[in-house]
Structure 1
Amino acid sequence: MSKPRKVVLAYSGGLDTSIILKWLQVEYGCEVVTFTADLGQGEELEPARAKAELLGIAPENIYIEDVREEFVRDFVFPMFRANAVYEGLYLLGTSIARPLISKRLIEIAAETGADAVAHGATGKGNDQVRFELSAYALNPDIKVIAPWREWKLSSRTTLLKFAEDHQIPIAKDKRGEAPFSVDANLLHTSSEGKVLENPAEDAPDYVYQRTTNPEDAPDTPEFIEIGFERGDAVSINGEALSPATLLTRLNEIGGRHGVGRLDLVEGRFVGMKSRGIYETPGGTVLLEAHRGIEQITLDRGAAHLKDELMPRYAELIYNGFWFSPEREMLQAAIDHSQAHVTGTVRLKLYKGLVRTVGRWSEHSLYSESHVTFEDDAGAYDQKDAAGFIKLNALRLRLLAMRRRRMGG
């Protein structure tokens, strides 16, 4: 690969990406543009500007953007319309953030005339795949630089020496290795590595950052109502909220009741298994509510087909194929199914659990007159069931006759 002239770096402002920034300048002699996204990770991002300037980045080449609303509206909500979970449990909090970051990297590259983008994902994880597949889907000619796959800074000692040699400030708490690594955004926190690497060992309490220990959660349950329009949550307890504000509120509510903890050993796209501790309080509440409103507004055939498609859809997101034609095809089908998914769900949160306790909608397919055990006033003729059963039994009877005829 020829040396890039200008690189847009996904920059957190932390030590690792600061080292990457300087390494790009030293290794390639190129101009660097930094992009720092506020995805709701709960950290002050303005210090990233000062750190970038300290490392020689011109003010016009420093991008710090609040993308929380776009993140929830255009990425999280479409995914939740599908009820997407990977390997039956994981709500894809890290996976769904990567295409948005990649999208902005490519857009900023076009705005600034950069010919390359760079990220800080390691060569062992899924994020390198997600960043790069998204980047190439949006600009097939872009150069992608992944320093962790290129440089020789293979240990914490060599990283710290590089930082010291190039006058990169090192906070005291960064000199030792962190007990685990964390990725966070408005949808979840993900913790992995070090003290979490042995899947036989219980995760220490200090790993959890967003959720109260369920045993210590309030002794009184909390009831909330979530309103939906066309498959997207739009209100809590009757108050209309923007997508990011709504998810923030659900995080607060779910977190104090200990909802949304997950200890998972998952199959990475790159082949290995890894253990992660996930906290997705608002997302767990949202998934339960969305399935609750679909129970009364979605036809059985459409609902069952959605459940068949969902694992494939979730796998595409996990593996980094958000911008693929097959994900877009599935999204079109899923979005079509949500035309009447409008109404309100009542939920009970208590000691780490959330469950639907009520749901209602003007678009409801539920007919009390058809299911009642009382007099249905002719809404359903029970005699019709006999023919229905006989027709469905025909092939089973023919199979049984053959077995009898063949002696077995």
Structure 2
Amino acid sequence: MPKNKIVLAYSGGLDTSVILKWLKETYDAEIIAFTADIGQKEELDGLEEKALSTGASKVYIDDLREEFARDFIYPMFQSGALYEGQYLLGTSIARPLIAKRMVDIARAEGAIAIAHGATGKGNDQVRFELTAAALAPELEVIAPWRLEAFREEFPGRAEMIAYAEKHGIPVQASASKPYSMDRNLLHISFESGMLEDPWFDASHTDNEEMYVLSVSPERAPDEAEYIELEFSAGDCVAVNGVEMDPLGVMEKLNELGGKHGVGRVDMVENRFVGMKSRGVYETPGGTILFAAHRRMESLTMDREVMSLRDSLITRYSTLVYNGFWFAPERLALQALVTESQKNVTGTVRIKLYKGNVIAAGVKSPVSLYNPEIATMEADATQAYNQSDAAGFIRLNALRLKVSSGVEQNDKGKDKDKVLQAQN
């Protein structure tokens, strides 16, 4: 009888390497290792050989970078999504793409389950499994860290390292980097280890070796650099006059932002599962794109449309963070976002300087800004009569006057009661 197949999200690190071997032995199954290339760079070197030597029957390493930029990063940035006012959702937005491809592979290979190495305390378990539920509810999901048998066998990293050594699994586990790191095209995140102390200063130049995509603002060039981003219907399509696809844009902006120390964030955030966690993020290209996109919208987007879209930012961001990318409510919100972006077209000029993204100019063929109307000088267009503002103010003040009258009346009644009591 052929063995059952399980598709494992595999990174090649200590956890997923041990999990690969453990799944194969525990379930007596064929393990198909899957790694999504979403911009990890050198982290992908040697993964196929390592997975096969660890016991995988087959390995997929799929280049999903263009799909990631085009179908996930760009639509999310059109929404203005920013989780808890700081986080550009770099890890969150990658998980539904990874899970989507896992489902595709599982179906193509006739697998009965998919598996992941996310812990039972984090957000990623939710993101992987909600995506699977939306796209392939028939598939079983195996999460070893939530299984008592697995936790009993591996109560800590020492036991995992010993297991890897016993089975000849090469791992790089060291105290020299006492934190975990997750990298993709949009960002790098750092957490755990010394970062679990929120008083630890991750910005100090003594900790510069932790960072990968950017220099510290202190070590950034002393001269500012100007760049221009061209937008069409809400998407950046060119940088400094050179047309680029979404992948090219992200790679170029990462290079420019990293050079100038742009995009470092250190925050304590609220996980979906109920606890707070401290994360440090590098998002150089995303930070530039976010600022430039907002600047482009300021010139071309109708006020009430922007207000409506902005009122949904918290909802949209939370849906992405919590793993509901393929939920019907996110898809409905995306339709509104797409409609709001149809005239977000033009060019934004940005100045990069020591960690700062500074607005330096914006223009558009569909600009809603009319200097002849907005001018403080005489309005040659006669489009705005300043005398009309008096009636406008009176109408808007009416409810405030009525409310104030009621409050004054109540205070007068209270005063009368006090005087009567004194008498």
TM-score by length of 2: 0.92
What is the deviation of 1:404? 4.1
Q: Do the aligned partners of 1:93 and 1:189 also contact (CA within 8 Å) in 2?
A: yes
User: What CA deviation, in whole Å up to 9, does each residue of 1:91-142 have, x standing for no partner?
Assistant: 0000000000000000000111001001111111111111111111111111
The 5 Å alignment of 1:220-369 reads 220-369=223-372
Q: Is it true that 1:102 corresponds to 2:117 in the alignment?
A: no
Q: Secondary structure at the match of 1:234?
A: strand
Q: Secondary structure at the match of 1:57?
A: coil
Q: Secondary structure at the match of 1:265?
A: strand
Q: Do the aligned partners of 2:324 and 2:330 also contact (CA within 8 Å) in 1?
A: yes
The residue number in structure 1 matching 2:145 is 148
Q: Percent identity?
A: 56
Tell me how far apart the structure 1 counterparts of residues 324 and 127 of structure 2 sit (CA, whole Å): 7
AA paired with 2:76? M
Q: CA 1:126 to 1:44, structure 2 compared with 1: closer, same or farther past 3 Å? A: closer
Tell me how far apart the structure 2 counterparts of residues 191 and 397 of structure 1 sit (CA, whole Å): 54
Q: Is it true that 1:401 corresponds to 2:398 in the alignment?
A: no
Tell me how far apart the structure 2 counterparts of residues 103 and 404 of structure 1 sit (CA, whole Å): 62
The residue number in structure 2 matching 1:184 is 183
The 5 Å alignment of 1:88-237 reads 88-150=85-147, 151=150, 152=152, 153-170=154-171, 173-174=172-173, 176=175, 178-203=177-202, 204-237=207-240
Tell me how far apart the structure 1 counterparts of residues 405 and 121 of structure 2 sit (CA, whole Å): 58
Tell me how far apart the structure 1 counterparts of residues 385 and 211 of structure 2 sit (CA, whole Å): 55
What is the deviation of 1:355? 1.7
The residue number in structure 2 matching 1:65 is 62
Q: Do the aligned partners of 2:20 and 2:56 also contact (CA within 8 Å) in 1?
A: no
Tell me how far apart the structure 2 counterparts of residues 56 and 276 of structure 1 sit (CA, whole Å): 33
User: What CA deviation, in whole Å up to 9, does each residue of 1:145-189 have, x standing for no partner?
Assistant: 11112203121121122212222223xx42557411000101000
Tell me how far apart the structure 2 counterparts of residues 297 and 54 of structure 1 sit (CA, whole Å): 55
What is the deviation of 1:51? 1.1
AA paired with 2:392? F
Q: Do the aligned partners of 1:156 and 1:177 also contact (CA within 8 Å) in 2?
A: no
Tell me how far apart the structure 1 counterparts of residues 164 and 410 of structure 2 sit (CA, whole Å): 81
Tell me how far apart the structure 1 counterparts of residues 187 and 198 of structure 2 sit (CA, whole Å): 20
Tell me how far apart the structure 1 counterparts of residues 43 and 183 of structure 2 sit (CA, whole Å): 13
* Structure 1, 276-285 or 206-215: larger mean CA deviation: 206-215
The residue number in structure 2 matching 1:47 is 46
Q: Is it true that 1:77 corresponds to 2:74 in the alignment?
A: yes
What is the deviation of 1:263? 0.7
Tell me how far apart the structure 2 counterparts of residues 144 and 88 of structure 1 sit (CA, whole Å): 33
AA paired with 1:113? G
AA paired with 2:253? L
The residue number in structure 1 matching 2:420 is none
AA paired with 1:160? I
AA paired with 2:195? L
* Structure 1, 189-198 or 40-49: larger mean CA deviation: 40-49
What is the deviation of 1:271? 1.0
Q: How many equivalent residue pairs?
A: 401
Tell me how far apart the structure 2 counterparts of residues 44 and 126 of structure 1 sit (CA, whole Å): 22
AA paired with 1:213? S
The 5 Å alignment of 1:357-396 reads 357-377=360-380, 378-396=382-400
Tell me how far apart the structure 1 counterparts of residues 292 and 102 of structure 2 sit (CA, whole Å): 34
What is the deviation of 1:15? 2.8
Tell me how far apart the structure 1 counterparts of residues 174 and 21 of structure 2 sit (CA, whole Å): 18
The residue number in structure 1 matching 2:15 is 16
AA paired with 1:205? E
What is the deviation of 1:44? 4.8
Tell me how far apart the structure 2 counterparts of residues 46 and 210 of structure 1 sit (CA, whole Å): 18
Tell me how far apart the structure 2 counterparts of residues 101 and 117 of structure 1 sit (CA, whole Å): 11
What is the deviation of 1:367? 0.7
What is the deviation of 1:143? 0.5
Q: Do the aligned partners of 1:348 and 1:356 also contact (CA within 8 Å) in 2?
A: yes
AA paired with 1:374? E
The gaps in structure 1 that reach 5 residues or longer are none
Tell me how far apart the structure 2 counterparts of residues 149 and 136 of structure 1 sit (CA, whole Å): 18
TM-score by length of 1: 0.95
Tell me how far apart the structure 1 counterparts of residues 178 and 409 of structure 2 sit (CA, whole Å): 69
User: What CA deviation, in whole Å up to 9, does each residue of 1:336-360 have, x standing for no partner?
Assistant: 1001011110000001000211111
What is the deviation of 1:375? 1.4
What is the deviation of 1:55? 2.6
AA paired with 1:128? Q
Q: Secondary structure at the match of 2:182?
A: strand
Higher radius of gyration, 1 or 2: 2
Q: Do the aligned partners of 1:260 and 1:284 also contact (CA within 8 Å) in 2?
A: yes
